[in-house]
Structure 1
């Protein structure tokens, strides 16, 4: 039996959850999210807990059982607390700014990089070089952070670029003249 799938998902008191067929709708202080459950799974509400059950005992059903429970947990936790990713910009003259839902990055190119932030995701800039991406949807927050990082990934020689907070970049030694 799936070790993750059999654990119930606790629902905090400030979160309202509705299950209609294969669709789970969660609403909390950070927003509202809808989840379509994976195939071969079903969910039911037991008081202040959600239990994910599998339909059948095939290998795929067992895999979907754990996946379904993890997705439900991410939705419930997201609307209650939200998710955050922090990025750092390293490089002389590199900086970022936000106006509304548009993030502008000056990364040493001949032009600034302009990125439009999607709905349900909030991007803030601290000290011109620290970017904070937050929102209720774990997948969207991670995707936005990865897209911002992809504009100038950290390079191994000087360490310049956009990296996750706490990310360690393995540095390489440059060419030596003989």
Structure 2
């Protein structure tokens, strides 16, 4: 039995939730998020609470029950508060700047790395901190991971792009000759 699936999702004020066939639709102002459930879970909307129920008794149905509840909760949090991830650039000459819809990164290569900012995301740069924010948890995490992948932190000097809360385990360099 899913412990996550049992819990109801509370709908924050200002967000409208409706059911369109097997698709849950959440609206806040001009933002609209949809979650297609493909009929794998039962959905009940009671005012400011949405509850999910299992449709079948198979193991896969239990997995879908908890998964769709978690995905819908992520939509609610995203529309209400939003998501953000912060990245830190370490290294001599490593820089970042936002130019229009492009994040321009100088990461020690012979060329600049241009990252096209996906639709619905906002990227801000403050000195050596890059902040990726938006309403979609998956898109924010994916964009942050792609930026980090251009120059992951190396274990000797710690140069590269890392999450601000990430801890880089340092290695000792070569031992000095005797």
Give the TM-score normalised by structure 1: 0.95
> Which deviations, in whole Å up to 9, do the C-alpha atoms of 1:8-67 show, x marking residues without a partner?
000011111111121111122693211112652132211100111110111111111111
Superposed counterparts of 1:53-92, under 5 Å:
53-92=53-92
After TM superposition, the runs of 4+ consecutive aligned structure 1 residues lying more than 3 A away are: none
Contact 1:30/1:82, CA 8 A, preserved across alignment: no
Question: Are the counterparts in 2 of residues 26 and 34 from structure 1 also a CA contact under 8 Å?
Answer: yes
- Structure 1 distance, partners of 2:114, 2:175, is 38
Structure 1: any 5+ residue segments left out of the alignment?
none
- Residue equivalent to 1:51: 51
2:27 counterpart SS class? strand
Offset of 1:6 from its aligned partner? 0.8
In structure 1, distance between residues paired with 2:119 and 2:11:
25
> Contact between 1:74 and 1:138, CA under 8 Å: does it hold in 2?
yes
Query: Is 1:39–1:64's contact at 8 Å kept on the other side of the alignment?
Result: no
Cα distance in structure 2, aligned partners of 1:172 and 1:29: 50
- Output the CA distance in 1 between the equivalents of 2:134 and 2:73: 15
Distance 1:34 1:102 in 2: 27
Report Cα offsets for 1:117-155 as digits up to 9, x if no partner.
11011111112x110000000000000000000000000
- Aligned match of 1:33: 33
What is the alpha-carbon root mean square deviation over aligned residues? 1.4
Give the match's secondary structure for 2:114: strand
Instruction: Indicate the residue corresponding to 1:147 in structure 2.
Output: 146
How many Å separate the matches in 2 of 1:82 and 1:21? 27
User: TM-score when scaled to structure 2?
Assistant: 0.95
